[in-house]
């Protein structure tokens, strides 16, 4: 027979006497029947079995599809608590019967499963994890199964969402109707163009609260209904569970993480599936609201026990996602999926924030955290960082992930290399040589040597040793509030962090720009030891973000060479295209250095650094000191650095830094024009400083509360330091400046 729509077709009607007669005649079971709820069928319990009278809209092939799927699961994963079909006395798995209204229905009998239906509010992280893992096991068991009727149209398949528009007008509440329409619009724009390219298979498609039984500990004891099973996108299965199991809960996002982690402990989502997951969840909730409104009018005397009215759980969940913002919610689900994809392989456990603060101090000591209220991070992607509390932060501060957090090209390169080899750099390997060959042509000076080390501090430390070897001088020049590292030698080069009273005799301080040549010459002349090198960050980041200053750099370079010293360009903060004018800030301001040090962004988060220079300076140092860094330039580090250079070129990130940096500067200038608290705005590409009339710390804290991370800098700590990953976009600049405007307005009004 030809199937009708089981959601349009009225549910079967049977008296208890008629149902008992069907059960006794065809299966030989006798006893009282207890009616059970169903959206579109007629179910009743009879001791050890359950009788189902199928909706007349389901044809024989659909019912056989469901029966064969259950049998397949029992063979593939017999430990799954899935109900079993009980054959009739004549061996058939379903029997056609005539209903009282003259319609035909297929009767089936199943084994009774232990347990009860759960209340959504009972679930905790443990039970949510198990629910997700069990659902994934069912999906895995069905992976190799197919049936000719697997693709039949059922409205509960999220892929059928566009058909829901015909029911939207039936939603009585105008606000609910608007939210559902918005969700469907997002589906059409975001999901529909790509969902057919995702993994598809036969899926249960409805492992929600109404179809799963649990024990007193809310652990799953039975899966009791396959009525919505269909061939659809794999990600829809998880979306259905997230929407239905957690519907209406205020902590939906928090428990979603546990449920997603459970699912991915069995089946890991692909990146495209993770990207769509949030929109699929919202679409399932919209379907629940729309279908409930439609069916309540279509069949007003058959209210569903498992799909409630539009003002129940699904609508509360939709309201929650709308309050967060549907795009923000999508990003949160994507982050949770990506974050939990390999959680099982991580050799540490998640710890609540307050306990983590205590344990950190007890084990790592009193090293300061960036904010008064610590930011506890779980993962990051692009310009976004994701907190343990579910918050998403716009990262406008970190230059280490120059390509953005967790860039797939770097992750893939490092993972592939780590699976092969990562060992002592005294052995021959192509990666370090390839990196040196790739780095050298990017420099404007005729460099021919690269020394690979592990950090920017180590690079500056070694550069100071090379300068001392070449010149015979152990003195150094740095700008008045510079930062060049944390080793003993580079701490001397970092007046930003000098404790009170500390003033190393070998280091002279040069006033930051703008300063006259005479002032610079005086600082050089004031050294009490022979000058070995001047260290210059051409962006003068720690001095308050003062670059570019080509005249100052030229004067300092001239004075240094006249005194017999080498010029070291420290590119740890301003390098890798941040200025938007060149890959290296020294080249953009006309410096001709003897050595260049690289660090933080070089590996996009993987520890790797370098000293680049002339063989006439470096080779003699290596030979005379027997210099070597055991792990500097290890294979994992080298491939990370190679991937960074490749992505910068392929994605045009230097030009992008210039373009987005110009937009950011215009936005900041416009803001400054209306805020007396802003003393000055200085920028160079995607490095910007906003100098305030008071310490910048409180404003940075206020920005954190608004989901934006920045730093502070300058001798007086009065400069907001903006130094985002180079994948920052114009929209991110707008978010940043909007949050800064709000924070300054709140401070001015005394609200913060």
Question: How does pLDDT run across 661-687, given as a tens digit for each residue?
Answer: 999 999 999 999 989 999 999 999 999
Query: Which neighbouring-strand residues pair with 611?
Result: 451, 597
Write down the pLDDT at residue 6.
Answer: 59
Position 225 pLDDT exceeds 90: no
Residue 79's contacts (CB-CB under 8 Å, 6 or more residues apart) are none
Closest by CA to 431, choosing from 626, 619, 645, is: 645
Please provide the DSSP assignment of 471-526 as one string. HS--EEEEETT----SSHHHHHT-GGGPPTT---TTEEEEPPSS--HHHHHHHHHT
- What is the CATH architecture of 408-650? 3-Layer(aba) Sandwich (3.40)
Q: Which residue has the higher pLDDT, 664 or 516?
A: 664
Predicted TM-score of the model (pTM) = 0.76
CA end-to-end distance (rounded Å), the chain: 70
Tens of pLDDT, residues 175-187: 999 999 999 999 9
Write down the pLDDT at residue 2.
Answer: 38
Q: Span 702-709, mean pLDDT?
A: 96
- Secondary structure of residue 163 in the 3-state scheme: helix
Residue 650's contacts (CB-CB under 8 Å, 6 or more residues apart) are none
Q: Span 140-168, mean pLDDT?
A: 92
Write down the pLDDT at residue 227.
Answer: 85
Position 307 pLDDT exceeds 60: no
Confidence of residue 305 (pLDDT cuts 50, 70, 90): very low
Write down the pLDDT at residue 17.
Answer: 84
CB 129 within 8 A of CB 209: no
- State the burial class of residue 729 (Cβ atoms within 10 Å of its Cβ: 0-12, 13-18, 19+): middle
Assess if CATH 3.90.1150.10 describes domain 360-403+653-748.
yes
Q: Span 543-566, mean pLDDT?
A: 95
Confidence of residue 5 (pLDDT cuts 50, 70, 90): low
Write down the pLDDT at residue 298.
Answer: 64
By percentage, how much of the chain surpasses pLDDT 70? 97
DSSP annotation of 441 reads: G
Please provide the DSSP assignment of 523-544 as one string. HHHT-SS-EEEEEE-TT-TTTT
Q: Span 296-315, mean pLDDT?
A: 57
Taking the alpha carbons of 214, 220, 224, 226 in that order, is the dihedral positive or negative?
Answer: positive
The fourth-level CATH superfamily of domain 116-345 is Aminoglycoside phosphotransferase (APH), C-terminal lobe (3.90.1200.10)
Q: Which residue has the higher pLDDT, 297 or 655?
A: 655
Q: How many CB atoms lie within 10 A of CB 323?
A: 10
Range with the poorest average pLDDT among 351-355, 467-471, 508-512, 573-577:
351-355
Residue 92's contacts (CB-CB under 8 Å, 6 or more residues apart) are none
Sequence spans of domains, the chain: 16-111, 116-345, 360-403+653-748, 408-650
Confidence of residue 12 (pLDDT cuts 50, 70, 90): confident
Tens of pLDDT, residues 14-66: 888 888 888 989 998 887 888 787 777 888 888 888 888 888 888 899 999 99
Write down the pLDDT at residue 726.
Answer: 97
- Secondary structure of residue 181 in the 3-state scheme: helix
Range with the poorest average pLDDT among 116-125, 472-481, 574-583:
116-125
Closest by CA to 699, choosing from 329, 690, 149, is: 690
Q: Span 361-385, mean pLDDT?
A: 91
CB 374 within 8 A of CB 353: yes
Write down the pLDDT at residue 638.
Answer: 97
Planar angle of CA 406, 410, 415, nearest 5 degrees: 100
Write down the pLDDT at residue 555.
Answer: 94
User: Which class does domain 16-111 fall in?
Assistant: alpha beta
Taking the alpha carbons of 458, 462, 464, 465 in that order, is the dihedral positive or negative?
Answer: positive
Closest by CA to 133, choosing from 269, 241, 263, 268, is: 263
Confidence of residue 1 (pLDDT cuts 50, 70, 90): very low
Q: How far apart are CA 429 and CA 433, in angstroms?
A: 7
User: Strand runs (DSSP E) across 147-297, as ranges?
Assistant: 200-203, 212-214, 220-223, 230-233
Tens of pLDDT, residues 243-253: 999 988 888 88
């Amino acid at each position: 027979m030809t199937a009708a729509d089981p959601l349009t077709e009225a549910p079967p009607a049977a008296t208890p006497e008629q149902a008992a007669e069907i059960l006794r005649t065809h299966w030989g079971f006798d006893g009282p029947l207890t009616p059970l709820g169903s959206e579109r069928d007629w179910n009743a319990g009879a001791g050890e079995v359950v009788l189902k009278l199928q909706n007349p809209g389901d044809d024989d092939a659909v019912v056989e599809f469901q029966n064969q799927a259950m049998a397949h699961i029992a063979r593939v994963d017999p430990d799954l608590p899935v109900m079993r079909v009980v054959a009739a006395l004549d061996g058939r798995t379903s029997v056609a019967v005539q209903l009282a209204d003259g319609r035909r229905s297929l009767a089936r009998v199943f084994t009774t499963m232990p347990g009860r239906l759960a209340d959504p509010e009972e679930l905790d992280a443990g039970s949510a994890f198990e629910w997700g893992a069990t659902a994934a096991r069912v999906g895995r068991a069905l992976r190799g199964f197919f049936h000719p009727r697997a693709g039949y149209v059922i409205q509960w398949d999220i892929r059928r969402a566009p058909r829901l528009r015909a029911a939207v007008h039936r939603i009585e509440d105008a606000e609910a109707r608007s939210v559902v329409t918005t969700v469907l619009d997002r589906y059409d724009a975001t999901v529909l163009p790509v969902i057919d390219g995702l993994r598809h298979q036969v899926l249960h498609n409805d492992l929600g609260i109404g179809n799963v039984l649990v024990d007193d500990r809310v652990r799953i004891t039975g899966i009791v209904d396959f009525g919505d099973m269909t061939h659809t996108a794999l990600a829809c299965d998880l979306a259905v569970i997230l929407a239905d199991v957690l519907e209406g809960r205020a902590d939906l996002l928090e428990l979603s993480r546990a449920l997603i982690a459970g699912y991915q402990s069995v089946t890991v989502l692909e990146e495209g599936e993770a990207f769509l997951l949030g929109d699929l969840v919202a679409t399932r909730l919209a379907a629940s609201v729309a279908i409930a409104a439609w069916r309540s009018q279509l069949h007003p005397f058959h209210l569903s026990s498992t799909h409630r009215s539009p003002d129940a759980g699904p609508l509360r969940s939709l309201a929650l996602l709308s309050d967060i913002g549907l795009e923000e919610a999508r990003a949160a689900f994507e982050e949770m999926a990506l974050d939990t994809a390999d959680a099982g392989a991580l050799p540490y456990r998640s710890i609540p924030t307050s306990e983590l603060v205590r344990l950190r101090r007890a084990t790592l000591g009193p090293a300061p955290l960036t904010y008064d209220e610590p930011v506890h991070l779980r993962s990051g992607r692009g310009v976004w960082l994701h907190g343990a509390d579910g918050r998403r932060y716009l990262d406008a501060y970190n230059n280490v992930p120059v390509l953005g957090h967790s860039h797939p090209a770097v992750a893939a390169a490092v993972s592939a290399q780590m699976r092969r080899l990562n060992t002592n750099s005294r052995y021959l390997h192509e990666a370090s040589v390839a990196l040196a060959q790739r780095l050298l042509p990017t420099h404007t000076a005729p460099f021919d040597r690269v020394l690979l080390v592990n950090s920017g501090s180590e690079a500056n430390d070694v550069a100071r040793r090379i300068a001392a070897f070449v010149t015979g001088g152990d003195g150094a020049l740095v700008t008045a509030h510079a930062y060049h590292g944390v080793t003993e030698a580079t701490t001397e080069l970092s007046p930003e962090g000098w404790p009170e009273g500390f003033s190393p005799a070998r280091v002279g301080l040069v006033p930051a720009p703008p300063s006259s040549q005479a002032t610079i010459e005086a600082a050089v002349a004031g050294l009490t030891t022979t000058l070995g090198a001047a260290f210059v960050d051409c962006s003068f980041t720690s001095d308050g973000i003062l670059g570019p200053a080509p005249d100052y750099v030229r004067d300092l370079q001239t004075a240094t060479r006249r005194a017999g010293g080498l010029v070291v360009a420290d590119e740890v903060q301003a390098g890798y295209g941040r200025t938007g004018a060149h890959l290296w800030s020294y080249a953009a301001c006309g410096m001709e250095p003897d050595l260049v040090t690289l660090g933080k962004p070089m590996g996009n988060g993987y520890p790797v650094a370098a000293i680049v220079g002339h063989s006439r300076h470096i080779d003699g140092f290596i030979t005379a000191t027997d210099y070597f860094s055991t792990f500097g330039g290890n294979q994992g580090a080298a491939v990370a650095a190679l991937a960074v250079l490749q992505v910068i070129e392929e994605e045009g990130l230097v030009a992008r830094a210039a373009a987005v940096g110009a937009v950011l500067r215009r936005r900041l200038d416009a803001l400054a024009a209306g805020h007396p608290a802003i003393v000055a705005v200085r920028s160079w590409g995607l490095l910007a400083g906003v100098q305030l009339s008071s310490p910048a710390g409180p404003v940075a804290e206020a920005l954190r509360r608004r989901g934006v991370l920045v730093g502070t800098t300058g001798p007086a700590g009065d400069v907001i330091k903006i130094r985002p990953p180079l994948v920052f976009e114009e929209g991110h600049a707008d978010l940043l400046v909007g949050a800064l405007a709000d924070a300054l307005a709140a401070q001015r009004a005394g609200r913060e």
